[in-house]
Structure 1
Amino acid sequence: MTIKAVVFDIGNVLIGWQPEQFFDSVIGADRRRAFFAAVDLHGMNDGIDAGENFHDVLRQTAQDNPDWATEINIWHDRWIDLAAPLIDHSERLMYALQAKGIPVFSLTNFGIQTYDIAAEVYPFMRKFDRDFISGHMGVIKPDPTIYQMLEDGSGLSGDALIFADDRQDNIDAAKARGWRTHVFEHPKGWADRLVAEGLLTAQEAT
């Protein structure tokens, strides 16, 4: 079947998402390791990505972990510094696909409030042909439900879709539904895959 739409994850595909690296630079690696061991920050973030209010969750987490309140408030106040930098080659690929009339969808684990914060800095986030944002959908990857919701919402399924994500578990869930998939490691590899699929020329994919 011909590919009818290209699906992009956002974190670590279009913008960076490396909280440990950020906190290493701010509080040092030793304290960061202690912080992440003491507070379930990834679990906290999963709740936000599933639709919990970012500001309320961070406030409650700081109250529940007073010894780490300063660091938790950094997560809140400097959140946009965690979601950085722009992966500009991936952004160019998105626009190149759209310039050829190929729809580009997002399928991303992202909170409601944090998506709005990021979209102020990264305009591409308002330019997908279809948005599938976990916070609004109430479910996160790799739950099969979120993939079903994209299929139902777009009317596309199976190998009519090609999906790039940096996490193998998210890729495996899409592959189980018959989607074409690409494990994203760097934008050049994604560009090469889009060329191999006949969606872009080598020049268009630069």
Structure 2
Amino acid sequence: MPVTAAIKAVVFDIGNVLIEWQPERFYDATVGEARRRAMFAALDLHGMNDGVDRGDHFHDAVTAFAALNPDFHAEIMMWHDNWADMASPAIPHAVRLLRALRANDVPCFALSNFGIQTFEIAEGRYDFLHEFDRRYISGHMGVIKPDVAIYQMLEDDCGMAPGNLLFTDDRIDNIRAANARGWQTHLFDGPTAFADRLVAEGLLTPEQAQ
């Protein structure tokens, strides 16, 4: 069997890895499940958000989308006005893993689909977002995962070989794109399994991974 390359840096997605991102849950709680289902069936809100993640101005993008869809204008504006409530709460065990890795002098990078303005909001709420060694935020890069270019840009900037990167993300399409470049990967489905992976790789002790 081939020998796996040594891990020299851990790359974190943010949404649903370090911070919960569940817009549907927010809308169910505020306007009701039936209204939310009707809106998401009629409109591509996640597509609107992809534009923000590529660098579209957050307020302008949401306002324009709301103007085009007056039947759901109030609900669409919630995406802007209540965004911090959608990107909530933090996932404490995952944050502890980030901090434990950095305490062990393991470089930690963020690679996340995030808008320029929305990331500024998140930074003001979650101090751990300032703690990465490097941050690769799609809105500033003009490209989103799983486009191959964003992975290439990270490799070029950090100077590490793909096989030396361990990447965790909750979306399988993003994981597959990283795999195709030769990155080591972990499909995130909760912090406990990721903690076990970090221990298995020798990056943390079991006590540090708690």
Question: What TM-score do you get using the length of structure 2 for normalisation?
Answer: 0.97
Corresponding residue to 1:147 among 145, 151, 156: 151
Distance 1:75 1:49 in 2: 14
Could you tell me which residue of structure 1 aligns to residue 182 of structure 2?
178
Matching residue of 1:53 = 57
SS of 2:168 mapped into structure 1: strand
- 1:193 equivalent in structure 2: 197
Which letter does structure 2 place at the counterpart of 1:182? H
Code of the residue aligned with 1:157 in structure 2: it is A
Q: Number of matched residues?
A: 206
**1:119-158 correspondence runs (5 A):** 119-158=123-162
CA drift of 1:126 comes to 1.3
Residues 22-41 of structure 1 mapped to structure 2, 5 A cutoff: 22-41=26-45
For residues 123 and 155 of structure 2, what CA distance do their matches in structure 1 show? 24
**In the alignment, what sits opposite 2:67?**
63
Given candidates 8, 23, 36, the residue that maps to 2:12 is 8
* CA apart distance, 1:157: 2.4
Tell me which residue corresponds to 1:105: 109
Q: Give runs of ≥4 in structure 1 deviating > 2 Å.
A: none
Distance 1:127 1:95 in 2: 8
Cα distance in 2 for partners of 1:139, 1:108 equals: 10
SS in 1 for 2:182: coil
User: In structure 1, what is the Cα distance between the partners aligned to 2:26 and 2:38?
Assistant: 15
Unaligned regions of 5+ residues in structure 1, if any?
none
Tell me the SS of whatever aligns to 2:134.
coil
Q: Aligned AA for 2:159?
A: G
Q: In structure 2, list runs of 5 or more residues that go unmatched.
A: none
Amino acid at match of 1:47: G
Q: How far apart are the structure 1 equivalents of 2:206 and 2:7?
A: 18
- TM-score, scaled relative to structure 1: 0.99
Q: Which residue of 1 aligns with 2:206?
A: 202
Find the counterpart in structure 1 of residue 90 from structure 2. Answer: 86
Offset of residue 99 of structure 1: 0.4
Q: Deviation per CA, 1:146-198, whole angstroms, max 9, x where unpaired?
A: 00000000001222000000000000000011111000000001000000000
In the aligned structure 2, how far is the partner of 1:42 from the partner of 1:74? 14
- CA distance in 1 between counterparts of 2:78 and 2:46 reads 15
Q: Secondary structure at the match of 2:123?
A: helix
AA paired with 2:207?
Q
Q: CA RMSD in A?
A: 0.6
Output the CA distance in 1 between the equivalents of 2:200 and 2:37.
Answer: 41
